[in-house]
Amino acid sequence: MSLEHNGILIRTGSAKEGASTLFDLLTYAELLGIEHYILSSPVDDGLSILLQAHPTLSDGCACDTLQLSARLQFSSIASEDDLEREIFLSMLLSPVTFEYPSYAEFEAAIRVRLNIVEAARRSALCFDTKKIERPPEFWRYSEERGFTLRPEKSLIDALRMATQPEISGQCYSFSCYRATEYVYALGIAQELVMSNPELLAQLQHHCESRAIMSRNFHDTFLREYGSMSDPLPPRYYVPGDRVWFRNPDERSSDVEGYEGSWVIYLGDGLFNNFWKQGQPYTLTEKCVEIYHWRSGVYEDAHGALHMDESIVDARKKATLDDPAELEQVLERVMRLRDPGGTYANGGCIDTTREYPRWVCTGTSDIVLPT
């Protein structure tokens, strides 16, 4: 990721290819009707194209993409075209560079984000950090290998069946972290059908022998932007980003599964809700809910901590209905999080976001684990 520019940087092999790439980019922007929001320029002696936000787009909202859709009168939840526009324009507003080795890779990145948002919207799961279940006709489990794909079964179909009850007819148990992995894997695999069939075949074969999860998943499929030393603005998100909200309360964070919450940014100022399909969160709603995990934590007779979600829901509603209390809670939680292991004055907001690696044949940087 380049630190010299912000916005979108696309590498090319020659000045001639750079001119062609610029033409393709502007044609794409015109088809979306957003060309007037874009400043474009060749850099690196014409070997790269830099796209940045025109002041008509960036003035007053460069650090707040949550309001971008409403400001431009898009309906990114209802319209895939508007969602595509929001993805493109949000990337233009990035304080760091989204860099791609070709125009084809940039187009693929947009499509992967569209796939991820659609998959996140369709996902509905049962929260459980210990229960082990997936559709048995598609998946098998072992402690050593995790959930592996049954031979001759489509990876894309298996991921849909595990996460989309409208297809499977059943809600399967997940943690929020594992749920985001399945959603991301689905969005990436759908793009590989067109952009890199060979890598899809390799991924299919790998998933038949061993699950890719946790840190391995992050290192294989994701890039992270922002850092603790150079944090992203608290209200900057691109549709398709994987986002973590931290629980800033030390006691309730000791309840398994309540250390924080992993979600996908959907656009239109909304984050997906894995547990209640069709009820996405605003940033305010999500942070207030996490704040009240401290209200719902309790200790059983054996000293183990648990969470009473009914108390959390009641306290969340009461806070959202009380402007004075809401202001106090938001002042506490709408801060950047503390470093790991620290519980002091930080809030729920992470300093980083995550998004998919390159996927196209010849330029993909996805390397499957050995």
Q: Examine residue 99 and state whether it is found in any structural domain, yes or no.
A: yes
Compute the average pLDDT of residues 51-73: 90
**What are 242's two structure tokens?**
């994987």
Is the same domain home to 219 and 247?
no
Nearest to 22 by CA among 52, 50, 55: 50
Same domain? For 297 and 203 the reply is no
Residue 56 maps to a domain: yes
- The arithmetic mean of pLDDT across residues 276-301, rounded, is 97
- Report if residue 209 sits inside a domain: yes
Distance CA 253, CA 311 (A): 16
pLDDT tens-digit map of 182-237: 999 999 999 999 999 999 999 999 999 999 999 999 999 999 999 999 999 999 99
* Region for 42 from its dihedrals, namely left if φ exceeds 0, alpha if ψ lies in -120 to 50, beta otherwise: beta
Q: Contact, 82 vs 75, CB < 8 A?
A: yes
- Count how many domains the chain has: 3
- Looking at residue 132, its pLDDT comes to 82
Residue 189, C-beta contacts closer than 8 angstroms, at least 6 positions apart: 155, 156, 159, 200, 203
**Residue 220: CB atoms within 10 Å:** 19
Residues 340 and 246 in one domain: yes
For tokens 């729920």, the residue is 348
Residue 246 has pLDDT above 60, yes or no: yes
In sequence order, which residues have a C-beta less than 8 Å from that of residue 300 and are 6 or more positions away? 306
- Write the burial class of residue 169 (CB in 10 Å: 0-12 exposed, 13-18 middle, 19+ buried): exposed
Do 306 and 349 lie in a common domain?
yes
Q: Do 175 and 95 have their domain in common? A: no
Say what the pLDDT of residue 2 is: 38
In a domain, 359, yes or no: no
Query: Mean pLDDT across the chain, nearest whole number?
Result: 95
In a domain, 273, yes or no: yes
Write out the two tokens for 219.
């290192």
Q: What is the pLDDT of residue 5?
A: 59
Indicate whether 2 belongs to any domain: no
Residue 64 lies in a domain: yes
pTM attached to this predicted model: 0.96
Q: Count of alpha carbons within 13 Å of 66, Cβ hemisphere only?
A: 12
HSE (side-chain half, CA atoms, 13 Å) at 31: 9
Indicate if 91 and 134 belong to the same structural domain. Answer: no
Same domain, 249 and 328: yes
Distance CA 211, CA 91 (A): 31
178 with 91, same domain: the answer is no
Residue 230 lies in a domain: no
Question: What digits encode the pLDDT tens for the residues 181-193?
Answer: 999 999 999 999 9
Whether residue 60 has pLDDT greater than 80 = no
- Residue 293 structural domain: 242-353
Of all residues in the chain, the percent with pLDDT exceeding 90 is: 91
Same domain, yes or no, for 271 and 219?
no
- For residue 57, what are the CA distances in angstroms to 36, 61, 109, 166? 9, 7, 22, 38
pLDDT over threshold 70, residue 71: yes
Same domain, 208 and 279: no
Residue whose entry in the numeric block shows the structure tokens 């919207």: 121
